[in-house]
Each structure stands twice: as C-alpha cells, then as structure tokens.
Amino acid sequence: MNHKINILREGFKRKKLEALLLTNFYNIRYLTGFVGLTPQEREAYLLVTLDQVFLLTDGRYFEAVKELSIKYKELRILEIKPGEKITKLLSGFNDLRVGEYEELKKDVIKDARACQITSTENLVEDLRAVKEPEEIEK
C-alpha cells in the first residue's frame, strides 16, 4: 500500500503478530492519507494485516474512500464480518472506548475462538515520530 504500512508490518513480524486494528483518527490519517474524518467521532477503523488493509466505515464516506482505493490497490473498503479468523489481533486499546471494545468482542470475534487480543501502546505513534522527508518539507 505505502511505505508507512510496510514499516508497520515489519513490526508485526518482529512481534509475531498478524494484525493491527486502528481506532485513532490521527493514526488512520497518517497511514492512509484520508483526511475526510473528524477526530471527535468514530467514523472509520483501519485493519492492517500482513497482506491486506481494510478500511471500515459507513456509507457516508464510501465515495471519499473510493479515491483511496484507486490510489492504493491493496486497500479494501468493507464492513467487519463476524468470525473472521485472526489468531492474534493487536489493538490500540488505549484509544478504544469500552462500548466499542464490547461491540468488537460481541460482533467481530465471538466465533474466532483462537483469537488472541493484545493491547499495545504507541506502535503507530512511534512511526509518526520519525518524519519522512516529504513531511519535513511541509
């Protein structure tokens, strides 16, 4: 998808993880470049696996995110489907609201008996701290 996603995935390999669920507006914007969201609302989630990237959002943003899917061929726009098998899910729980966690548990991973959810802090934030040359130019 892009250089930033690939760097993030290197961290997955080192930690022997399979996916990261991003709930933080700033992290989603950093990794995708999608600026159509607001930081106060939960309008999208980003699920990054070792070989795919899913942007989960409601119908209000489909037209805007279609442009992203043209730019990044790897990006898939969809809703989370119950029971998707991910055996280790790394989630930024420091930003996930309790109600959202309960919904995720109930709707997404209820049938994924082998799923292990691990909390992490600053995985993407550490990437954001190191500026790319084009970011410095801005």
When comparing pLDDT for 129 and 89, which is higher?
A: 129
- Token pair in block for residue 43: 């309008």
Q: Structural domain of residue 81, as residue ranges?
A: 3-125
> Which pLDDT band, with edges at 50, 70 and 90, does 36 fall under?
confident
Tens-place pLDDT, residues 76-123 = 776 544 344 344 444 445 555 656 666 656 655 555 555 666 666 778
CA-to-CA distance for 17 and 35, rounded, in angstroms? 28
Does residue 37 form part of some domain?
Answer: yes
When comparing pLDDT for 13 and 80, which is higher?
A: 13
Are residues 5 and 71 in contact, defined by beta-carbon separation less than 8 angstroms?
A: no
pLDDT at site 102: 65
Which of 15-19, 24-28, 57-61, 108-112 is predicted most confidently?
A: 24-28
pLDDT at site 88: 41
Does residue 78 form part of some domain?
Answer: yes
Q: What is the DSSP track for 55-107? A: EEE-GGGHHHHHHHHHH-TTEEE-PPPTT---SEEEE-GGGS-HHHHHHIIII
CA-to-CA distance for 16 and 100, rounded, in angstroms? 25
CATH code for the domain in which residue 7 is found: 3.40.350.10
- Count structural domains, the chain: 1
Does residue 73 form part of some domain?
Answer: yes
pTM, to two decimals? 0.68
pLDDT at site 51: 84
CA-to-CA distance for 132 and 69, rounded, in angstroms? 23
- The neighbour count for residue 16, using CB atoms within 10 Å, is 7
Place of tokens 């992290």: 27
Tens-place pLDDT, residues 53-72 = 888 877 677 777 777 777 77
Does residue 130 form part of some domain?
Answer: no
Does residue 115 form part of some domain?
Answer: yes
